[in-house]
């Protein structure tokens, strides 16, 4: 109990350290912002008024002493100018002197043009002042500042507003100066917007242009703002500022797929047809997440160019059986023949996943399967909307959601898992902020595996939901089942968890070493389970502790 209380206090301290508050809001900030906009137009407006008054005074001076004059004072001059500007021309007032007529000619020439200019000027002024007023009175709301109004940005913004209606969606540096109830387009830079906000709590920068390299460069350039930055990029630097979170569409797609359509049997035949970038990530996540039994034998058949995949994963054969049948290990078969060569394999497959990066290619393969082959397995098609004949996955609208883009709960639980591991290992490993992206991803995988652990403990009673959609009651029940299991069963579960960890490290070419060194890719846990010491075996239980931690996290949010 003492150790448990120390652990809870340790985690609490780490959470406090994680919270960042930068600047406090200034009480007079709204008036300062408004004054800055007024100041921009003040000189032009004052110049127009002064010129108008000067013309009126000259008109009165030229007319008031002339015989038969109808304009004797400033009031009559104003009335005459208004009648002239608006082209009404009542004829009750008119100049009689040459100088007066010259001034009147100016009014006549400027007439509609000056009135139109003044109306346009006022409309532009209102258009510019409106976003300032809206942003100034909404500084208490969460701001999501997008670097571009790209299709990705608009899709995510729409999904975000569905779950967080109070969010302010702001598109920075957009030429289209438009403001609606759903979003605001402004010409200002991200830095100028943050300065207008005045404080940085609950502000987010969203780098979601269509060009991923531009997103990467934008996020690095904006890192000094200390605001949380979400960057859409298909690559993650080994080390990067703590406030930048990278995500890719292919990785989110793989996470969603194996959580929505988990493997429930110890033996399945799965075909991945069209092995591009999406297929590569799908297979990696499958090997890392689908670990739930010491008797499982999942057969993955890969059709496509897999040469680079195999060259990069030097220890793949240590993780699974490669191109060889096995009844007690997962197997990966890399086929050199085309996918439609072996009709019997297509017929006995439990799943056929069409995962070419091109939607056109996937639809073509789907058409060929339906036309020429009899299959019994489920058909899944990547990045398409052919719902009547196959189960679609990986559509941008389904991927760009707050749960998978912001992944706040995933990060919280991954951080919690790492801190549990640090505490139980004697704090002799790096803190979260010092980890490289690879080690953080390992903790993300462990968190994603929570839903698999729930199915391992509850069997058919477990819902097929992602980990962050599981109810606290379900998590508590699974955690209790783990605690109540006998030592033999716990040993089996530790062995499975160790196998899952080994898979991640081996797929990323880690080797055994007496110390933890992520840069050198060595780790003392990379041993067969039988060779681990008692403390190392107990360390594998940290992942099971996440069941209770996630339940507590969700219960706290309910309150």
Give the residue from 367, 399, 431 where a domain finishes: 399
Mean pLDDT of the region 95-108: 78
pLDDT band for position 18 (50/70/90)?
very low
Taking CA 432 as the corner, what is the angle to CA 427 and CA 435, rounded to the nearest 5 degrees? 105
Classify residue 301: in a domain, yes or no.
yes
Mean pLDDT of the region 35-59: 70
Q: Do 227 and 328 fall within a single domain?
A: no
Classify residue 18: in a domain, yes or no.
no
Q: Which of 292 and 83 is assigned the larger pLDDT?
A: 292
Secondary structure letter of residue 340 according to DSSP: T
Residues of the domain holding 185: 138-247
Measured distance CA(219)–CA(215) in Å, rounded: 6
Q: Do 276 and 354 fall within a single domain?
A: yes
Classify residue 507: in a domain, yes or no.
yes
pLDDT band for position 514 (50/70/90)?
confident
Query: Mind listing the pLDDT tens digit for each residue in 537-547?
Result: 888 888 888 88
The CATH number of the domain where 314 resides is what?
A: 3.40.50
How many structural domains comprise the chain?
4
Query: Mind listing the pLDDT tens digit for each residue in 451-498?
Result: 999 999 998 888 888 888 889 999 999 999 999 999 999 999 999 999
Measured distance CA(166)–CA(163) in Å, rounded: 9
Of 499, 371, 515, the residue nearest 445 (C-alpha): 499
The CATH number of the domain where 110 resides is what?
A: 1.10.287.70
Counting Cα atoms < 13 Å in the Cβ hemisphere of 435 gives 18
Q: Which residues pair with 184 in a beta bridge?
A: 170, 179
First-to-last alpha carbon distance for the chain, in angstroms, is 26
Q: Do 391 and 456 fall within a single domain?
A: no
Q: Do 548 and 496 fall within a single domain?
A: yes
Q: Do 341 and 443 fall within a single domain?
A: no
Q: Do 551 and 412 fall within a single domain?
A: yes
The CATH number of the domain where 188 resides is what?
A: 3.40.50.720
Give the residue from 364, 383, 399 where a domain finishes: 399
Query: Mind listing the pLDDT tens digit for each residue in 122-132?
Result: 666 666 677 77
Give the residue from 247, 275, 298 where a domain finishes: 247
Q: Do 413 and 484 fall within a single domain?
A: yes
Q: Do 328 and 390 fall within a single domain?
A: yes
Q: What is the per-residue pLDDT for 546?
A: 86
Classify residue 163: in a domain, yes or no.
yes
pTM to 2 decimals? 0.78
Q: What is the per-residue pLDDT for 28?
A: 45
Q: Are 219 and 231 in contact (CB under 8 A)?
A: yes
* 369, 371, 374, 375 alpha-carbon torsion, rounded to 10°: 30
Secondary structure letter of residue 24 according to DSSP: P
Classify residue 20: in a domain, yes or no.
no
Measured distance CA(362)–CA(390) in Å, rounded: 11
Q: Do 237 and 152 fall within a single domain?
A: yes
Q: What is the per-residue pLDDT for 38?
A: 56
């Amino acid at each position: 109990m003492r150790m448990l209380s120390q652990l809870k206090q340790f985690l609490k301290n780490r959470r406090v350290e994680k919270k960042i508050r930068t600047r406090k809001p200034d009480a007079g900030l709204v008036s300062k912002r408004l004054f800055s906009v007024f100041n921009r137009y003040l000189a032009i407006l004052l110049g127009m008024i002064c010129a108008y008054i000067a013309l009126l005074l000259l008109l009165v001076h030229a007319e008031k002493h002339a015989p038969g004059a109808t304009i004797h004072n400033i009031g009559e001059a104003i009335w005459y100018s208004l009648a002239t500007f608006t082209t009404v021309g009542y004829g009750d007032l008119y100049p009689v002197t040459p100088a007066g007529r010259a001034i009147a000619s100016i009014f006549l020439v400027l007439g509609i043009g000056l009135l139109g200019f003044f109306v346009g000027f006022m409309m532009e002024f209102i258009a510019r002042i409106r976003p300032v007023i809206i942003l100034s009175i909404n500084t208490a709301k969460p701001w999501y500042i997008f670097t571009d109004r790209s299709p990705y940005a608009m899709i995510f913004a729409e999904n975000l507003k569905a779950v967080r209606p109070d969010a302010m969606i702001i598109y920075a540096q957009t030429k289209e100066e438009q403001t609606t109830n759903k979003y605001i387009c402004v010409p200002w830079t991200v830095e100028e917007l943050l300065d207008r906000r005045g404080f940085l709590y609950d502000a987010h920068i969203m780098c979601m242009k269509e060009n991923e390299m531009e997103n990467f460069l934008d996020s690095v350039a904006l890192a000094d703002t200390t605001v949380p930055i979400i960057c859409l990029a298909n690559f993650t630097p080994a080390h990067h500022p703590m406030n930048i979170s990278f995500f890719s569409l292919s990785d989110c797609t793989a996470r969603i797929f194996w959580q929505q359509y988990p493997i429930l049997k110890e033996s399945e035949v799965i075909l991945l047809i069209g092995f591009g970038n999406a297929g590569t990530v799908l297979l990696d996540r499958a090997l890392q997440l689908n670990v739930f039994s010491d008797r499982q034998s999942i057969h993955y058949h890969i059709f496509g160019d897999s040469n680079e995949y195999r060259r990069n994963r030097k220890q793949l054969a240590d993780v699974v059986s490669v191109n060889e049948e096995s009844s007690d290990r997962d197997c990966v078969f890399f086929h050199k023949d085309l996918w439609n060569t072996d009709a019997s394999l297509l017929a006995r497959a439990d799943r056929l996943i069409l995962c070419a990066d091109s939607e056109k290619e996937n639809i073509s393969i789907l058409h060929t399967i339906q036309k020429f082959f009899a299959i019994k397995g489920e058909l899944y098609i990547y990045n398409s909307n052919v719902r009547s004949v196959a189960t679609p996955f990986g559509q941008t609208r389904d991927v760009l959601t707050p749960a998978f883009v912001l992944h706040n709960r995933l990060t919280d639980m991954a951080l919690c898992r790492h801190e549990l591991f640090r505490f139980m290992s004697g704090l002799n490993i790096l803190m979260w902020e010092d980890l490289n992206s690879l080690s953080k991803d390992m903790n993300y995988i462990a968190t994603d595996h929570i839903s698999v652990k729930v199915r391992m403990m509850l069997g058919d009673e477990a819902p097929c939901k992602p980990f962050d959609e599981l109810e606290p009651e379900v998590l508590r029940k699974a955690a209790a089942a783990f605690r109540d299991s006998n030592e033999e069963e716990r040993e089996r579960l530790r062995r499975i968890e160790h196998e899952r960890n080994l898979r991640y490290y081996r797929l990323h070419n880690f080797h055994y070493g007496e110390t933890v060194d992520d840069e050198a890719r060595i780790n003392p846990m990379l041993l067969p389970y039988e060779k681990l010491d008692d403390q190392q075996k107990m360390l594998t239980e940290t992942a099971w502790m996440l069941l209770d931690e996630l339940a507590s996290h969700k219960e706290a949010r309910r309150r």
